[in-house]
Chain A
């Protein structure tokens, strides 16, 4: 590392803040109103007595300033992409441009009731219609639903469509879903909830889908293969075309987990790989907020063959240019979300796509991949890489080099906080022992990447020369080294109501 690297991690005055309930002072109020000059009505005349509570017990009693300080102080304990680098692998914590908030906050959108008739909501429908077309173009697939509210619900929607497709052909023996051992945990969960049975496919020695492992499953029971491309090792599935053909030839379908579309968009269309169903995380790839800042949105794109099974309604345009909801979808799996999905998120994603244009979308992928490879090459001498090859948008290290000093991935992650960085994803994917999964995204400058890399190099040195320092970290955050095992084994509920309100 260069001696002059300045790290963002520092310690400052952090204000303690108790629970709201602990701050409560009896009869303190957050408002003052003039005396009521209207005659008082007896509660009994308004509601049957059994529905009237004597008192609301346990609610905190606070002033407006108490409440404002409470939440403002809590907000200073937070860490977000607007604070600093957030290299959480597989989560794509890219910067969310503020223009997206401006458009989504336009009062014509925010004041629009979801039950407004289509004739009075043409602008909103047009945005949804166009967003579907853009996602269709990016994915290389025919049709899109915007309803699912996140990636996992998109997966469930996709698996329900695959099941409905096989059933519509009275091919109902097809209930097996093949899932690589590197997959996101949501993949098997979504399949099982859709009523299908999962089988795990061991990855090949190169970390990719293994045709030898796949072959024995190619039979009349195969409903679908779920693949993630690039996979969770950040590696492009080079045999994708051959594999989708094998699955199709035996009557199965291919689902692609699109969580990692950030590495492909504008360069590879999943439809061209032979993918039948793809979910897209607007809250990852298309720069809408996620984590606590959500909600998410998980549109699903499908081939022409699967279009009839998409959730109802779909948005159509008539020859006169009028947008409307088409409810006549006899093969549809039905509705998967109240109203039309998370509309505000769609406006943000639409804005992101329009801001970038086709060229910009491609550049996003290129920069995301370049940043991850830069990170990989520079850190390679200091941290072991399980699968050392050209990566896509993320790279996976592990703690093999640090193991001899009894320093683990968890220690390295915690020490990064002292340097002022959010730790990367740890211990995932499961097939890499002690995985450290870094996804820099396209948002970050070379300066930021270098700063993070220097922190990682410094930690690798500390692991050798002063391992205790790493193992006792973090020392700067408000709460120091937390014992996550004890926290999980002995949960302490900090606030317990004094009396239970009437049920």
Chain B
């Protein structure tokens, strides 16, 4: 699966897709879902919660492991993907689109500059 060129990527394998200039759609990358294996449960935060960059926003449980998901940038949760409640497998089948997890209002857009672009993330994966 290819990595969208307009997304930003974190070292913890979360992506941010910036929409309408101030909002970010956040999920875990294809690499992350592949490492985790079959995802069976996703726990997401309450809408309205404000979280700092690096805070845990959710938990993904697969048949192999349970891992935390971290905020790639600071922001307020404005929506969560409710589809994942009944269809956690979307994280595996379509991580970069229908398997999104949260929509946030990004507090400081300049924080995005600290994330990787597609090329940098692909290099980062090579080094791993």
Interface residues of A (CB under 8 A from B): 185, 410, 426-428, 430, 433, 484-485, 488-489
Interface residues of B (CB under 8 A from A): 35, 38, 40-41, 61, 63-67, 88-89
Give the chain B neighbours of A410 by CB distance below 8 A: 63
A164 to chain B, nearest CB (A): 26
Q: Is the CB of A489 within 8 A of B65?
A: no
Q: How far is the CA of A484 from the CA of B62 in the complex (A)?
A: 10
Q: Is the CB of B65 within 8 A of A427?
A: yes
Q: Is the CB of A485 within 8 A of B40?
A: yes
Given A485-B40, A488-B63, 19 extra CB contacts under 8 A = A185-B66, A410-B63, A426-B64, A427-B64, A428-B65, A430-B65, A430-B67, A433-B35, A484-B63, A485-B38, A485-B63, A488-B38, A488-B40, A488-B41, A488-B61, A489-B38, A489-B40, A489-B88, A489-B89
Give the chain B neighbours of A426 by CB distance below 8 A: 64
Give the chain A neighbours of B40 by CB distance below 8 A: 485, 488-489
Give the chain B neighbours of A427 by CB distance below 8 A: 64-65
Closest 5 CB pairs of A and B: A488-B40, A485-B38, A427-B64, A484-B63, A489-B40
Report the nearest A residue to B86, measured CB to CB.
A489
Give the chain A neighbours of B64 by CB distance below 8 A: 426-427
A/B interface sample: 6 pairs, CB < 8 A: A427-B65, A430-B65, A484-B63, A485-B40, A485-B63, A489-B89
Q: Which of B38, B61, B89 has the most CB of A within 10 A?
A: B38
Q: How far is the CA of A185 from the CA of B38 in the complex (A)?
A: 20
Q: How far is the CA of A185 from the CA of B61 in the complex (A)?
A: 13
Q: Which of A426, A484, A489 has the most CB of B within 10 A?
A: A489
Q: How far is the CA of A38 from the CA of B41 in the complex (A)?
A: 58
Q: How far is the CA of A428 from the CA of B67 in the complex (A)?
A: 12
Q: How far is the CA of A488 from the CA of B65 in the complex (A)?
A: 13
Report the nearest A residue to B92, measured CB to CB.
A485
Give the chain A neighbours of B66 by CB distance below 8 A: 185
Q: How far is the CA of A484 from the CA of B37 in the complex (A)?
A: 11
Give the chain B neighbours of A485 by CB distance below 8 A: 38, 40, 63
Give the chain A neighbours of B38 by CB distance below 8 A: 485, 488-489
Report the nearest A residue to B67, measured CB to CB.
A430
Give the chain B neighbours of A489 by CB distance below 8 A: 38, 40, 88-89
Report the nearest B residue to A430, measured CB to CB.
B65
B10 to chain A, nearest CB (A): 15
A395 to chain B, nearest CB (A): 20
A389 to chain B, nearest CB (A): 22
Report the nearest A residue to B89, measured CB to CB.
A489
Q: Which of B61, B63, B66, B88 has the most CB of A within 10 A?
A: B63
Give the chain A neighbours of B35 by CB distance below 8 A: 433
A453 to chain B, nearest CB (A): 25
Give the chain B neighbours of A484 by CB distance below 8 A: 63
B109 to chain A, nearest CB (A): 27
